[in-house]
Amino acid sequence: MRYDGLYVAGLAHRLPDAVDVDGAVEAGRYDPADRLADAYASVTVAADEAPPEMAAAAARLALGRAGTPPSAVALLLHASAWFQGVDYWPAASYVHREVLGDAGRHAPALDVQQMCAGAMGALELAASYLAADASRASALVTTADRYADPGFDRWRGDVRGIVYGDGAAAAVIGREGFARLLSVSTVVDTALEGMYRGDEPFAAAPGRAVDVRARREAFAAAGRPAGGVGERTASGLAEAVGRTLDEAGIGLGDVARFVFPNVGLQVLRERYAEPLGLDVERTAWDWGRRTGHVGAADQLTGLAHLVESGRVAPGDRVLLLGIGAGFAWTCAAVEITARPDWGG
């Protein structure tokens, strides 16, 4: 969908200290061959903060950078991919109470569960919510995750090529801002839903450790969907990017920077950059290799880094792409229109 008159007004992240990946290799937790192929330098690891606490901290900073009072927020969406610290409890409501409080009494607080595409999906929902009613001034999107043992092994819990970091990010969408939202588009392919379920039976309560590698092996053993996994994932990515660019009225050559999920370098090249004919240097990989894959936060932390470091300037277009198990691809195109006072 193409948007007119909507902007990213504020952007922030909350990332804990980074841990060098070589220590995990020495401890036998991270395969040396994977380390070589991935080229991660470090991953962010939370020691004390729970995901909703990190989300609230990022949200407060984003609102401050936007100059948006809590009373102006018409909607709060919180995205996550993993356990938020308490079962049977809405994390979005915690973020709302901590950040908006009574000033947000008429702003719904909703959790978005589209895995690692959650923040981008929330961005699309928030923009559509504002576009539907001109009286709604702004919306707040947050996301946060912490991948802790014993439930999730950040080094081997998912497939090779992905190591997980902890952290949070937040974005304020409003009628004014430093980056104009051009378009957002989502493509889904639920034929691939089983890739992250495998043959695990439905349980009566949570508690099992996540092993995506075993789930994917079970999914493959059960028979691949028509067209094959590789072709379907490549098709989803290409379609999401193509639709977004078409709706924005721009081409790949008009985009200055691309922010993809913070996957390992080999996967980034083979699955993202090369299919689109891009050089890795046009991506935010130099940032992502220092944080790891921070769930649904990669796109917002990547854009924040580009702005904070001065690597984008007014007139630059940036393409953000989120991918989440299920499967969903959400892509957004933004145009930098001003250099905020917190930018490099």
| Residue at 280: amino acid letter | V
Question: Which of 331, 239, 281 lies closest to 2 in space, CA to CA?
Answer: 331
Residues 170, 230 share a domain: no
pLDDT score for 314:
98
Residues 166-184 have pLDDT tens digits of: 999 999 999 999 999 999 9
In angstroms, the CA 166 to CA 127 distance is: 26
Residues 156, 191 share a domain: no
Residue ranges making up the domain that contains 306:
183-336
Does 342 reside within a domain? Answer: no
pLDDT score for 32:
97
Q: Is the pLDDT of residue 204 over 90?
A: no
Residues 217, 139 share a domain: no
Residues 309, 193 share a domain: yes
End-to-end CA distance of the chain: 30
Q: Is the pLDDT of residue 99 over 70?
A: yes
Lowest model confidence (mean pLDDT) among 159-163, 236-240, 306-310: 236-240
Residues 310-337 have pLDDT tens digits of: 999 999 999 999 999 988 999 999 999 9
Residue 69: band (very low, low, confident or very high) from pLDDT cuts 50, 70, 90? very high
Computed over every residue of the chain, the mean pLDDT equals 94
Residues 21-54 have pLDDT tens digits of: 999 999 999 999 999 999 999 999 999 999 999 9
Domain boundary residue among 161, 177, 193?
Answer: 177
Residues 249, 120 share a domain: no
Does 341 reside within a domain? Answer: no
Higher local confidence (pLDDT), 91 or 190: 91
Residues 172, 276 share a domain: no
Q: What order of strands is seen across the sheet that includes strand 179-188? A: 109-112, 73-79, 138-145, 167-174, 7-14, 179-188, 328-336, 317-324, 257-259
Residues 237, 137 share a domain: no
Residues 128, 28 share a domain: yes
Domain boundary residue among 124, 154, 177?
Answer: 177
Average pLDDT over residues 88-105: 97
Residues 55, 156 share a domain: yes
For the residues of 196-264, what is the DSSP string, one character each?
GTTTPPPPSS--PPP-HHHHHHHHHHT-PPTT-HHHHHHHHHHHHHHHHHHHHT--GGG-SEEE-----
Higher local confidence (pLDDT), 227 or 95: 95
Does 248 reside within a domain? Answer: yes
- CATH number, position 100: 3.40.47.10
Domain boundary residue among 142, 177, 212?
Answer: 177
Does 231 reside within a domain? Answer: yes
- Please state the pTM of the whole predicted model: 0.95
Does 2 reside within a domain? Answer: no
pLDDT score for 311:
96
Average pLDDT over residues 93-110: 98
Does 344 reside within a domain? Answer: no
Residues 133, 217 share a domain: no
Residues 215, 139 share a domain: no
Residues 169, 187 share a domain: no
Does 63 reside within a domain? Answer: yes
| 289 within 8 A of 262, measured Cβ to Cβ | yes
